[in-house]
Amino acid sequence: MSDKNYPYIDLIYNQQVENKCVVQNLTIKQRIALLKKLEKEIIAHREEIVEALGKDFRKSKVETESTEIYPVLSEIRLFCKNLSEWSKSKSVSNNLVFFGSKAEIVNEPKGNCLIISPWNYPFQLALMHLIPCIAAGNTAIIKPSEFTAHTNSVLNKILGNVFDSNHVQLIYGEVEETKYILSKKFDHIHFTGSPNVGKIVMEAGAKHLSSVTLELGGKSPLIIGEDFDLKKAVSKAIWGKLINNGQTCIAPDYILIHEDKAQEFVDEFIKQMDKTFGSDPKNSEDLARMINTRNFNRVKDLIQNAIELGANCPYGNEYDGYELYIKPTILTNVPKDAEILKEEIFGPVFPIITYNSVENVINYVNSDEKPLALYIFSNNKELIENVTNHTSSGAVLVNDLLIHILHPNLPFGGLNHSGIGSSTGYFGFLDFSHQKPVLKVNQMFSLTKFLNYPYNSFTKKIINLMIKYL
């Protein structure tokens, strides 16, 4: 992986490997106490977190508290409330073959874990996966993105006040450090990021047969039915897309709308943008910025490429490189070969694709990789069921955007190109646990008592009865 050596990484890694047996024997009460201590530290550093995200993204206080801090606190409280129940062994029923035996599933920690978190929600996504990792009884090395230095600093301070380094440790670094960490053997790796890097992580895990969870992304569609109120549709679309300036893995990546409604949508969009953000959205304190120059240029190039190929741009296409500002942009009549229809945008751009039938919608969605989320705005049950049942996606959300990730009893994750495995809540606990089957056989009725050597006519009768009736 990497030709360099990093002694401090070796030190932390070795300490956690040596300590994982101690950590896995922490009682549920001790694990909950650590989570509650983490909660207190987050609350105590609330203003520092807001300030750090402001420096990294020019993110507003409201957006930071609602999308970074609240989800983490909510997850901690969910685990503190339910961990005792979730961690209990679960008895399962027997069939006649195992009459008299006791069968159960025991949740055991996976061991030493690696959490690679992304830059787009640097506080939330690092901790949202640490919570189940710790609750399940594991150690954790957290490798955050190097793009969010201010948030990483606060995060490191908070973690240092709660955990010893042989239990949880954040490690700074760029590509080379990440490669070096990935060269080591972990019992479980949880990665959030792009599909291309996800393939590298999965390959690294395969070398040690480590289990791997991938939260990736993809082009999540927003399908707007003919029956849906366009004012509501535009309002929700603006909010869901522009949170974090479009740098959200479950943001609607493109809009599918009936051809008879497209122009009305554009007109209403421009009207609401002017009303919400003023004539120059750049002056609004509510809009975040692109994370860095590289991503600013990438999104700008996607817009320019589409326009050069013939797309119309009724709103947007204005930039300020110094501020990393891209004006929210609408694109219509986008050619199929435009790059913006091929890769995840991760920016404040609304490509609008028109359809004239539900079959068009289904075929368009199914022509691409499976998205992380699929959104439907409609009150038409037939439309909703048709799209839901004939497309495949990580999740389906009807008549709203993004908020399914906050539901306490639903898994979050993609499939294939958009991810492998599930996270959050109970599903996050299972993700960082091994569900170990334990079978205690009643010797009086043991199956092997009747099937053991030497094989004879009685053995054959037992097998015939099993095949016929069991």
Q: What does each C-alpha distance from 437 to 21, 91, 112, 232 come to in angstroms?
A: 20, 10, 21, 50
Selecting among 63, 68, 177, 215, the annotated active-site residue is 215
**Chain-centroid distance, C-alpha 445:** 47
- Residue 335, token pair as written in the block: 């050619």
CA atoms within 13 A on the CB side of 196: 2
| Residue burial 72-97, b: 16+ Cβ < 10 Å; e: rest | bbebbebbbeebeebbeeeeeeeeee
Active site residue 215: yes
The rounded distance, in Å, linking the Cα atoms of 241 and 386 is 25
Question: What residues are annotated to the active site?
Answer: 215
